[in-house]
Each structure stands twice: as C-alpha cells, then as structure tokens.
Amino acid sequence: MNQLLAINCIEDIIPEYRHTPIGLLLEYHNLGRPYATYSEAQLLVGMCMDNRKHLKIPENFSYIIRSGGANLRYSEFKVSYAISVGKVKHIALIGHDNCGMVNLHSRKDEFIRGLVGIAGWTTERAEEHFTNFAPMFEIGNAMEFVVMEAKRLRVKYPKITIAPLFYHVETNRLSIVKE
C-alpha cells in the first residue's frame, strides 16, 4: 500500500530526491524556498489538467505537460523531447485528490449533456466519443495511478529519476508518494 509523506521541512524530502530538481520543486512549492534564476528547464512535470492546481516554481524551471490524471501515455513524444532536446533527467508526476478522471464513468451523462448543450454535438456523437475515449483516460485511484505511471515510465526511460507526487487541492501542498 502506498502512503503519502508530507513535506514540511527539507529533512522530510527523501534522500533520493534531496539535492535534485525534484527536491527543489518540493522546496519551492511547499517550503517557500527563494526562487533561483533558470535559463533551462531542470525537470519535466507531468500533472493533471485540473484548473485548481498551481505550482509555486520559478520561471523556466520546468517543462509542464498537463493531461487528465497526469496520464502521460499519449504524451510520450513530448516526454522524449524534454529528455532528449531539453536534457532533463528528472520527472515529477503529480496526481491529486478529487480528480475528475477517477470514476469517469459516473460523469458520462454530464459529459454527454455538456457536449450536446455547450459544443453543439448530437447525443449519438457525444455518446460514441465518451465510449471510445473514456476507457483510455479513466485512472481508478489517483495515488495508485501516479505510482503505476511512474513505474511504466521508468521502464521506458531507465536513466531518468521519476518521482510520484500527490497534490492536495485544499491545502495547495505536495506530498511524496512512498512506493
């Protein structure tokens, strides 16, 4: 079972991440570390597209890919670009509580009504769209998903340090997911 490690001081950051861009991310966001100046990205952040999340990090500190549930499966070319061209060696995958991609099927009717009423789709087209794509984006448990996604990406990019993190929407704090 995974557990969350709260980050309230530098010593809370596990040694594997301390003194790395992942540790710096945690220091900037949770601990109010004064911003340094960066001309190149230090890491890639994969996080949910949810509008309630905002990271406290300096300009140019990271590439950020936002996708539902922090699912980077369909963004792998962008991940490869950040690694190969951007030279990043660290990835922070950030899941969060109250994620809309969890139990996605429960939102099917709302999803269809929204596409019909807001986007002007037919009901049939909206239903087909949901049926075809929802299984690809459903993540189940957000914390478990971010750990599985980290493990999947570690196999693909074995020299890259990949950290599963968790964002608490109410407190605007990051935790480490201890695997």
Alpha-carbon span 10 to 6, nearest angstrom: 11
Task: Show the tokens assigned to 155.
Answer: 């196999």
- 34 residue type, one letter: P
Q: Are 49 and 70 in contact (CB under 8 A)?
A: no
The DSSP result for 36-53, as a single string, is PP-SS--EEEEE---TT-
Q: Is 96 assigned to a binding site?
A: yes
Distances in Å between the alpha carbon of 33 and those of 6, 44, 87, 105?
A: 16, 19, 24, 40
Q: What strands, in cross-sheet order, belong to the sheet with 43-47?
A: 3-6, 173-178, 161-168, 90-96, 43-47, 62-66
Which residues line the annotated binding site? Answer: 96, 99
Which residues line the annotated binding site for Zn(2+)? Answer: 96, 99
